[in-house]
Structure 1
Amino acid sequence: MGDGRSFICFPVSQGHLVNIVAFVPSSLDMEETWFAPGDVRTLAGEYRGWDAPVQDIIAALDQTFRWGIYDRPPLPYWSRGCVTLLGDAAHPMVPHFGQGAGQSIEDGFALAVLLEHAGREEIPGRLQAYQNLRLGRTSGVQAASRLAGRFYRSAAGNPSDQAERMREWMSAAAWIFPYDTEEAAAALLRSVN
């Protein structure tokens, strides 16, 4: 991490593949697709001077893809009548905290609890309750993800200082992980019944 860039790799497909994500600044508008071809040589140039493992991983690539990361502010509301949004449609997140899918799953659990046994006439109120329950949390996770991206691309400090800052920062963000969406939704239902 550092110097306006970050680089991460992690195993996927039960360890059979490695996903590599390289964040570099760009002033270009990107096509909204997961399949826009990139150029391995251009990517290697973006990481010239980085540690050998990063350069070795890039040198081993046959192909790369590129896509834009666009940040969106939290929406003021998600639900109207019998219609609501969930996941990225309601709260798109930059990927720096790995919470986009997790927050979508939490949305699904909240909706399942809040809509179970709801009569047709109760649905608008339940969807409003879902929005009220989830909006603050997802906005907070969006903000944490945005800050993580800034941190990953900061060049401030030596590696051991950055490692200590990361430990402190991750400790401060620990509120995200133990949250029990199902219980929060059930408690909300109990409080209005």
Structure 2
Amino acid sequence: MKKLLSEIKQCSICEPYLDLGANPVVSAHKNSKIVIIGQAPGTKVHASGIPWDDASGKQLRKWLNVSDEDFYDVEKFAIVPMSFCYPGKGKSGDKPPRKECAPQWHQQLFELMPNLQMIILIGMYAQNYYLKDNAKRTLTETVDNYPAYLPKYFVMPHPSPRNRFWLVKNPWFEKNVVSELQKRVATIIN
């Protein structure tokens, strides 16, 4: 695992397309039990090199009901985004994750995590990549049908503050889905 993570940290496959250059942000351990797959690091995470070190990460830890200490314990959580580097600024928000990372690195990482019990797919990019034709037409439909993907995958929206309108329109998510997520996470990591 250390050798593979070292290779990933030195990856520059898509560097010519990255506004801020390559700075892969990923964490994993051979004993990781849960993998979190989000989109890509934002500018704050690009600068710090610490996954989910921003407002979205704070909300994600709240949804998971875990402390920072548990969240950053690589034997509990691996953090393997769709794109390991900040993809750059788009017209409205960040550009989509680069398409090179997941096919290049994900399977190699998963093969080295024999204790993996659940993969949390955050947002449409991760859900469409992993669920393929089983993903629903919209993120809302996919998340509303989360039991269909269990026990391997747990699907959820991005915890970004930009998604506050989605959360207001879909109160069932925090009422029903988050409580189920918290139960499953607690069972796995404790």
Q: TM-score, normalised by structure 2?
A: 0.27
TM-score by length of 1: 0.26
Between structures 1 and 2, the one with greater helix share = 1
